[in-house]
Amino acid sequence: MKYEFKNIKSLEINVCESNDIQDKEKPKKYRLDKTDTKTINGRTLYRVIYLKDFSIIEKGDKGGYIEKEANLSQEGNARVSDNACVSDNAHVYGDAIVSGNARVSGDAWVSDNACVYGDAIVSGNARVSGDARVSDNACVFGDAFIFGDANISGRINLTVNIDYELTPRVIIDTEEKAKRLKEFLKTLEGDKK
Protein backbone atom coordinates (compact mmCIF):
# COMPACT_ATOMS: atom_id res chain seq x y z
CA MET A 1 0.00 0.00 0.00
CA LYS A 2 1.16 3.51 -0.67
CA TYR A 3 0.04 6.61 1.16
CA GLU A 4 0.80 10.24 0.40
CA PHE A 5 1.76 12.47 3.32
CA LYS A 6 2.59 16.15 3.37
CA ASN A 7 6.37 16.71 3.11
CA ILE A 8 6.91 12.99 2.53
CA LYS A 9 7.11 11.75 -1.06
CA SER A 10 5.83 8.26 -0.32
CA LEU A 11 5.70 5.72 2.42
CA GLU A 12 5.23 2.03 1.92
CA ILE A 13 3.46 0.15 4.72
CA ASN A 14 3.26 -3.61 4.78
CA VAL A 15 0.15 -4.84 6.55
CA CYS A 16 -0.17 -8.41 7.70
CA GLU A 17 -3.17 -10.16 9.13
CA SER A 18 -3.13 -10.56 12.93
CA ASN A 19 -3.10 -14.34 12.67
CA ASP A 20 0.16 -14.11 10.70
CA ILE A 21 1.92 -12.63 13.72
CA GLN A 22 3.30 -15.26 16.04
CA ASP A 23 3.61 -14.48 19.71
CA LYS A 24 7.26 -14.99 20.62
CA GLU A 25 6.43 -15.14 24.33
CA LYS A 26 6.55 -18.60 25.88
CA PRO A 27 3.35 -19.81 27.49
CA LYS A 28 3.28 -19.22 31.22
CA LYS A 29 3.73 -22.09 33.65
CA TYR A 30 1.37 -20.62 36.24
CA ARG A 31 -0.85 -17.68 37.11
CA LEU A 32 -1.79 -16.02 40.37
CA ASP A 33 -5.30 -16.53 41.76
CA LYS A 34 -6.23 -13.08 43.06
CA THR A 35 -9.26 -14.55 44.89
CA ASP A 36 -7.26 -17.00 47.07
CA THR A 37 -4.89 -14.97 49.25
CA LYS A 38 -2.94 -15.05 52.51
CA THR A 39 -1.54 -12.09 54.41
CA ILE A 40 1.84 -12.67 56.03
CA ASN A 41 3.77 -9.88 57.75
CA GLY A 42 1.49 -7.32 56.10
CA ARG A 43 2.12 -8.69 52.61
CA THR A 44 -0.58 -10.22 50.42
CA LEU A 45 0.36 -13.54 48.85
CA TYR A 46 -1.61 -15.19 46.04
CA ARG A 47 -2.30 -18.87 45.36
CA VAL A 48 -0.43 -20.30 42.36
CA ILE A 49 -2.54 -22.07 39.71
CA TYR A 50 -0.48 -24.16 37.30
CA LEU A 51 -1.33 -23.72 33.63
CA LYS A 52 0.54 -26.69 32.17
CA ASP A 53 1.83 -30.16 33.00
CA PHE A 54 5.43 -30.49 34.18
CA SER A 55 7.25 -32.74 36.62
CA ILE A 56 4.48 -34.11 38.89
CA ILE A 57 2.29 -31.04 38.35
CA GLU A 58 -0.83 -31.28 36.21
CA LYS A 59 -2.54 -28.39 34.49
CA GLY A 60 -5.06 -26.86 36.91
CA ASP A 61 -3.25 -27.96 40.09
CA LYS A 62 -3.17 -25.42 42.89
CA GLY A 63 0.22 -24.57 44.30
CA GLY A 64 1.39 -22.62 47.32
CA TYR A 65 1.38 -18.85 47.78
CA ILE A 66 3.68 -16.19 46.33
CA GLU A 67 3.62 -12.43 46.56
CA LYS A 68 4.54 -11.71 42.93
CA GLU A 69 5.62 -13.48 39.76
CA ALA A 70 9.25 -12.59 40.43
CA ASN A 71 9.15 -15.04 43.38
CA LEU A 72 8.73 -18.15 41.19
CA SER A 73 10.39 -18.67 37.82
CA GLN A 74 8.15 -19.38 34.83
CA GLU A 75 11.06 -21.48 33.47
CA GLY A 76 12.17 -24.96 34.52
CA ASN A 77 10.37 -27.22 36.97
CA ALA A 78 10.58 -24.98 40.03
CA ARG A 79 7.43 -25.07 42.08
CA VAL A 80 5.77 -23.82 45.25
CA SER A 81 3.26 -26.33 46.59
CA ASP A 82 0.83 -27.02 49.42
CA ASN A 83 0.67 -24.08 51.84
CA ALA A 84 4.26 -22.96 51.29
CA CYS A 85 4.82 -19.19 51.02
CA VAL A 86 7.42 -17.18 49.10
CA SER A 87 7.54 -13.41 49.51
CA ASP A 88 9.60 -10.22 49.47
CA ASN A 89 12.48 -10.53 46.96
CA ALA A 90 12.91 -14.27 47.48
CA HIS A 91 13.28 -16.33 44.32
CA VAL A 92 12.62 -20.01 43.55
CA TYR A 93 14.01 -21.28 40.24
CA GLY A 94 15.62 -24.16 38.36
CA ASP A 95 14.03 -27.40 39.55
CA ALA A 96 13.73 -26.27 43.18
CA ILE A 97 10.75 -27.16 45.37
CA VAL A 98 9.24 -25.24 48.27
CA SER A 99 6.41 -27.21 49.87
CA GLY A 100 4.51 -28.10 53.02
CA ASN A 101 4.27 -25.06 55.31
CA ALA A 102 7.75 -23.80 54.43
CA ARG A 103 8.45 -20.09 54.10
CA VAL A 104 11.06 -18.39 51.94
CA SER A 105 11.43 -14.62 52.27
CA GLY A 106 13.80 -11.66 52.30
CA ASP A 107 16.37 -11.91 49.51
CA ALA A 108 16.73 -15.70 49.82
CA TRP A 109 17.13 -17.96 46.78
CA VAL A 110 16.20 -21.61 46.39
CA SER A 111 17.60 -23.09 43.18
CA ASP A 112 18.83 -26.13 41.25
CA ASN A 113 17.30 -29.30 42.78
CA ALA A 114 17.09 -27.91 46.30
CA CYS A 115 14.05 -28.52 48.49
CA VAL A 116 12.67 -26.49 51.38
CA TYR A 117 9.78 -28.26 53.08
CA GLY A 118 7.96 -29.09 56.28
CA ASP A 119 7.87 -26.02 58.53
CA ALA A 120 11.32 -24.82 57.44
CA ILE A 121 12.12 -21.13 57.06
CA VAL A 122 14.76 -19.66 54.72
CA SER A 123 15.26 -15.92 54.90
CA GLY A 124 17.71 -13.02 54.72
CA ASN A 125 20.34 -13.48 52.00
CA ALA A 126 20.40 -17.26 52.44
CA ARG A 127 21.01 -19.47 49.40
CA VAL A 128 19.87 -23.09 49.18
CA SER A 129 21.08 -24.86 46.04
CA GLY A 130 22.41 -28.06 44.52
CA ASP A 131 20.65 -31.08 46.03
CA ALA A 132 20.42 -29.46 49.48
CA ARG A 133 17.42 -30.03 51.75
CA VAL A 134 16.11 -27.74 54.49
CA SER A 135 13.23 -29.37 56.34
CA ASP A 136 11.21 -29.92 59.50
CA ASN A 137 11.52 -26.86 61.76
CA ALA A 138 14.94 -25.78 60.53
CA CYS A 139 15.54 -22.04 60.06
CA VAL A 140 18.27 -20.70 57.78
CA PHE A 141 18.97 -16.95 57.96
CA GLY A 142 21.59 -14.33 57.25
CA ASP A 143 24.19 -15.00 54.58
CA ALA A 144 24.08 -18.78 54.89
CA PHE A 145 24.91 -20.86 51.80
CA ILE A 146 23.50 -24.40 51.95
CA PHE A 147 24.46 -26.46 48.91
CA GLY A 148 25.76 -29.75 47.58
CA ASP A 149 24.11 -32.66 49.40
CA ALA A 150 23.61 -30.71 52.64
CA ASN A 151 20.61 -31.70 54.74
CA ILE A 152 19.50 -29.23 57.43
CA SER A 153 16.60 -30.61 59.46
CA GLY A 154 15.12 -30.86 62.92
CA ARG A 155 14.91 -27.95 65.33
CA ILE A 156 17.85 -25.75 64.41
CA ASN A 157 18.23 -22.07 63.74
CA LEU A 158 21.24 -21.46 61.51
CA THR A 159 22.34 -17.87 61.06
CA VAL A 160 25.58 -17.36 59.20
CA ASN A 161 27.03 -13.91 58.67
CA ILE A 162 30.60 -14.92 57.93
CA ASP A 163 32.40 -15.78 54.71
CA TYR A 164 32.55 -19.53 55.27
CA GLU A 165 30.34 -21.95 53.40
CA LEU A 166 28.94 -25.29 54.51
CA THR A 167 29.55 -27.74 51.74
CA PRO A 168 29.34 -31.49 51.58
CA ARG A 169 26.82 -33.52 53.50
CA VAL A 170 25.82 -31.89 56.77
CA ILE A 171 23.01 -33.68 58.58
CA ILE A 172 21.62 -32.05 61.69
CA ASP A 173 18.82 -34.15 63.10
CA THR A 174 19.42 -33.96 66.88
CA GLU A 175 19.96 -31.26 69.46
CA GLU A 176 23.48 -32.62 70.07
CA LYS A 177 24.44 -32.19 66.42
CA ALA A 178 22.96 -28.68 66.44
CA LYS A 179 25.06 -27.83 69.50
CA ARG A 180 28.23 -29.15 67.82
CA LEU A 181 27.51 -27.11 64.67
CA LYS A 182 27.04 -23.95 66.73
CA GLU A 183 30.37 -24.61 68.49
CA PHE A 184 32.07 -25.17 65.15
CA LEU A 185 30.67 -21.92 63.75
CA LYS A 186 31.96 -20.07 66.83
CA THR A 187 35.48 -21.37 66.16
CA LEU A 188 35.24 -20.12 62.58
CA GLU A 189 34.26 -16.68 63.81
CA GLY A 190 37.33 -16.74 66.07
CA ASP A 191 39.55 -17.64 63.09
CA LYS A 192 38.34 -14.60 61.15
CA LYS A 193 39.36 -12.11 63.89
> For residue range 93-141, what is the model confidence (pLDDT) as tens digits?
999 999 999 999 999 999 999 999 999 999 999 999 999 999 999 999 8
**Position 5 in a domain:** no
Which range marks the domain in which residue 100 is found? 27-192
Classify each residue of 16-30 as buried b or exposed e, where b means 16 or more C-beta atoms within 10 Å of its C-beta: eeeeeeeeeeeeebb
**Position 111 in a domain:** yes
Q: Is residue 48 helix, strand or coil?
A: strand
**Position 128 in a domain:** yes
Instruction: Name the residue among 95, 67, 90 with its Cα closest to residue 79.
Output: 95
Q: How many domains does the chain have?
A: 1
**Position 140 in a domain:** yes
CATH of the domain at 102: 2.160.10.10
pLDDT for position 154: 77
Residue 104: CA count within 13 A, CB half-sphere: 38
**Position 9 in a domain:** no
- Separation between Cα atoms, residue 135 and residue 148, nearest integer Å: 15
- Separation between Cα atoms, residue 38 and residue 46, nearest integer Å: 7
pLDDT tens, 2-45? Answer: 444 455 444 444 444 444 444 457 899 999 999 999 999 999 99
**Position 80 in a domain:** yes
What's the predicted TM-score (pTM) here? 0.71
**Position 7 in a domain:** no
